[in-house]
Structure 1
């Protein structure tokens, strides 16, 4: 393997970032610094941890334009949308800072004469956060900020596609006065990342990525009795009931399917529409997708950028070709999107009908700008299809009957079920998945429980 991490921009294939991989000596030094900082940070009053976090948020937000431009070039997000991730980082981090005092407060039990009893949330120690390229700031903030607020030290390892994101986060916290060694980044290849998981000081791993990557984390941590949080694959469904607001359902579900070129963990990848609305939904959906402008991410007029690399685009092309060979119908002409060329990272959006679960495009994660739309006749058929997946991150229902939607949502196998929206993360709610979409939880009050351990105090105060 090369001694250098190299990031090639999907915009034009140019070399955008080059960094040396961390050496074994540098990894050992980072672990030593974290171990030295750990008792100091644990003993830092929560109010001070919160204040440092708020200053870091401000320092980060002040660089919005620069950070958005870097994001655009590293992973291909259209520049018109890239600033939204910087603002989302500030929103999530700010919310976790807001609730930290309450979420981390001691649990005092009812009075018992002669005894003091309480449960305290203790930090785990050193958390390793492994973040992906598709939402590099939003996925990282979910674990980094609550881990720090809870009194943990953090090592941050970002994807080789977005290495500057790790550097910028550490810079913001350093500017805010975070003590040395509490938050560090390391540029690591896959083998060195696996070895780091096995390092004794690491007591928690927060990983966002593929199912195969999550399996690697579990193998590497086996026998160490450390905790892990895994956000893995998804094939998130949407169901449009007969009573849905059609215009709203089309606009929302299509945005959920094609934003970020479909490269979203909780993006909509399959849509089930009641027969009463099916034809109208497809007609309006195709018209809407046809308005997307595929182009360079640095062009402010672009609404659909390239995929992260050409191999990813070829994977989706293969799914579409296979589906067409199995009887699916494509509703958009790739020729209308001139940048879509064989071997290119630029991929035209596509809407497919005549699909079924025997097609990979309806069962295997696509992570690209394609969505299959399937006709259903009632809630039971839709529910069976929504749950017919090895994944379960989010699901969306479109309906004007909240009671019926809630009854249906209770039977959907997913970590989050939306009504009349999708592809959104509310930091007040637990972010979690089921089945192959992962385990554990980030954000909300519940998220703090996964970054701490309970310690009970049972004092007999009268003798």
Structure 2
């Protein structure tokens, strides 16, 4: 039997542990989900929507317990209040657009023919959710999948072991049948075995590139559709006419919030040379105002990274960059213990020869480079194997549209960053992954088209 353990980044203690399901029990859970799917899909859409929204509200009722629990599991400071705002916003938007998004596409309804395309649920959807925003990333797929008539099996990251249990408890209390929405504890081998056996009809995975590759290897030859959101190295570009103070505030928050552990966090910033010195000075002052410490303390503004190995990766990138000539602007903070507690860092004198500007950091570090013009900024923004978001800063919307059209990425932001709008498709390109969540397109990816071509016989 495999035991899954959540090790708290606060003090290295075992915060929670659960036994992983055996292969037999895991296959039985998938079978129950399949057996329950037809009856769930047969319920009226309005009923499914109401039940999902009631489940979301039940999660909200637990928020006072969830916030300190998240601090214990992955280190986010309690002062930020958890994730329920975004969790509710995303679920409610998908509920609001469901009827239109899932409506048949009419081609012809005449005396001679009925031709239309309908959307049918895939069947059983596996959601493998990450630890960095464990509630919001899960609901991106859980809510629309259930509303569309799929049953859902949720497997959460070991670092946030208790999140799936809370979601299942809330949704079941709201009236969603237990076999329609299941939380499971699985090890990697059993997960791969289930995918390879085509126990699921759609797999949504958010995590590392290596994890996504493992998903695809497991599914090889099954033709199971997948949504994959993998790595990122999101850039910001500050043009000479940008609102400097707002750009600093938003981009540095985008780089450092949640200890830099954000899927669409800002990991590299390019600033027009005329604003570079001022941008760096203001950024350094902002980061120096942060309080690194115990996430359970209301005074803490930046907590530990979720695990020692993640912090070690970021430290290694910083040390290698400094050794190669970069300048680190933030002095080591008192709470930096060489473990999970890591001083947030701003680097200048960086180049794309350095791992910190090339490889995903997923931590509180950002490199800042001066650029001469749009052409140089574009070349640098596109010099990455990833493509999730890019943030542009200018008063000129037309200029931003021209630049945005040339950036290989999933989302272009103008004068903002690090936000997921549920009305827009959340997607990426290159090794960031494939597919798309939320918006109408999210529903299209969680269903399959079925065409009806009826010739009407005349009496």
Q: What TM-score bracket applies, with the shorter chain setting the length?
A: over 0.9
> Is residue 2:242 matched to residue 1:244?
yes
Aligned-partner Cα distance in 1 for 2:388–2:366: 17
Which residue is equivalent to 2:269? Answer: 271
Aligned-partner Cα distance in 2 for 1:205–1:453: 14
- Counterpart among 161, 164, 172 of residue 163 in structure 1: 161
Aligned-partner Cα distance in 1 for 2:107–2:220: 35
Which residue is equivalent to 1:27? Answer: 26
> Is residue 2:384 matched to residue 1:401?
no
Total equivalences in the alignment: 458
Please state whether the residue corresponding to 2:79 is helix, strand or coil.
Answer: coil
**Do the aligned partners of 2:27 and 2:199 also contact (CA within 8 Å) in 1?**
no
Which residue is equivalent to 2:287? Answer: 289
Aligned-partner Cα distance in 1 for 2:197–2:60: 34
Cα drift, residue 423 of structure 1: 0.5
- Counterpart among 99, 117, 120 of residue 118 in structure 2: 120
**Do the aligned partners of 2:4 and 2:19 also contact (CA within 8 Å) in 1?**
yes
**Do the aligned partners of 2:257 and 2:302 also contact (CA within 8 Å) in 1?**
yes
Which residue is equivalent to 1:254? Answer: 252
Instruction: Write the mapping of 1:34-49 to structure 2, written as runs, cut at 5 A.
Output: 34-49=33-48
**Do the aligned partners of 2:26 and 2:190 also contact (CA within 8 Å) in 1?**
no
**Do the aligned partners of 2:26 and 2:186 also contact (CA within 8 Å) in 1?**
no
Aligned-partner Cα distance in 1 for 2:72–2:199: 35
Cα drift, residue 454 of structure 1: 0.5
> Is residue 2:379 matched to residue 1:375?
no
**Do the aligned partners of 1:72 and 1:82 also contact (CA within 8 Å) in 2?**
no
Aligned-partner Cα distance in 1 for 2:414–2:100: 29
**Structure 1 alignment gaps of length 5 or more:** none
Cα drift, residue 180 of structure 1: 2.9
Which residue is equivalent to 1:68? Answer: 67
Cα drift, residue 82 of structure 1: 3.8
Of 56-65 and 286-295, more deviation after overlay is shown by: 56-65
After TM superposition, the score normalised by the length of structure 1 is 0.97
Aligned-partner Cα distance in 1 for 2:199–2:367: 46
Which residue is equivalent to 1:445? Answer: 440
Cα drift, residue 248 of structure 1: 0.5
Cα drift, residue 111 of structure 1: 4.0
Which residue is equivalent to 1:338? Answer: 334
Which residue is equivalent to 1:77? Answer: 76
Cα drift, residue 284 of structure 1: 0.4
**Do the aligned partners of 1:116 and 1:459 also contact (CA within 8 Å) in 2?**
yes
Aligned-partner Cα distance in 1 for 2:247–2:30: 49
> Is residue 2:52 matched to residue 1:53?
yes
Which residue is equivalent to 2:422? Answer: 427
Which residue is equivalent to 2:189? Answer: 191
Which residue is equivalent to 2:309? Answer: 311
Cα drift, residue 332 of structure 1: 1.0
Aligned-partner Cα distance in 1 for 2:282–2:425: 33
**Do the aligned partners of 1:89 and 1:137 also contact (CA within 8 Å) in 2?**
yes
**Do the aligned partners of 1:269 and 1:366 also contact (CA within 8 Å) in 2?**
yes
**Structure 2 alignment gaps of length 5 or more:** none
Of 86-95 and 262-271, more deviation after overlay is shown by: 86-95
Of 369-378 and 32-41, more deviation after overlay is shown by: 32-41
Cα drift, residue 112 of structure 1: 4.1
Instruction: Write the mapping of 1:139-150 to structure 2, written as runs, cut at 5 A.
Output: 139-150=137-148
> Is residue 2:319 matched to residue 1:321?
yes
**Do the aligned partners of 1:37 and 1:180 also contact (CA within 8 Å) in 2?**
no
Cα drift, residue 202 of structure 1: 0.7
Aligned-partner Cα distance in 2 for 1:8–1:219: 29
**Do the aligned partners of 2:108 and 2:116 also contact (CA within 8 Å) in 1?**
no
**Do the aligned partners of 1:93 and 1:145 also contact (CA within 8 Å) in 2?**
yes
Aligned-partner Cα distance in 1 for 2:231–2:425: 17
**Do the aligned partners of 1:339 and 1:346 also contact (CA within 8 Å) in 2?**
yes
Cα deviation 1:189-223 (Å, max 9, x = unaligned): 11111112123331110000000000111111111
Cα drift, residue 117 of structure 1: 1.1
Which residue is equivalent to 1:366? Answer: 361
**Do the aligned partners of 2:131 and 2:156 also contact (CA within 8 Å) in 1?**
yes
Cα drift, residue 323 of structure 1: 0.4
Cα deviation 1:327-374 (Å, max 9, x = unaligned): 10111111xx112123x1000011000001000000000111110000
Which residue is equivalent to 1:223? Answer: 221
- Counterpart among 399, 405, 408 of residue 410 in structure 1: 405
Runs of 4+ in 1 over 6 A off after TM superposition: none
Aligned-partner Cα distance in 1 for 2:346–2:198: 49
Aligned-partner Cα distance in 1 for 2:221–2:23: 23
Which residue is equivalent to 1:301? Answer: 299
After TM superposition, the score normalised by the length of structure 2 is 0.98
> Is residue 2:345 matched to residue 1:347?
no
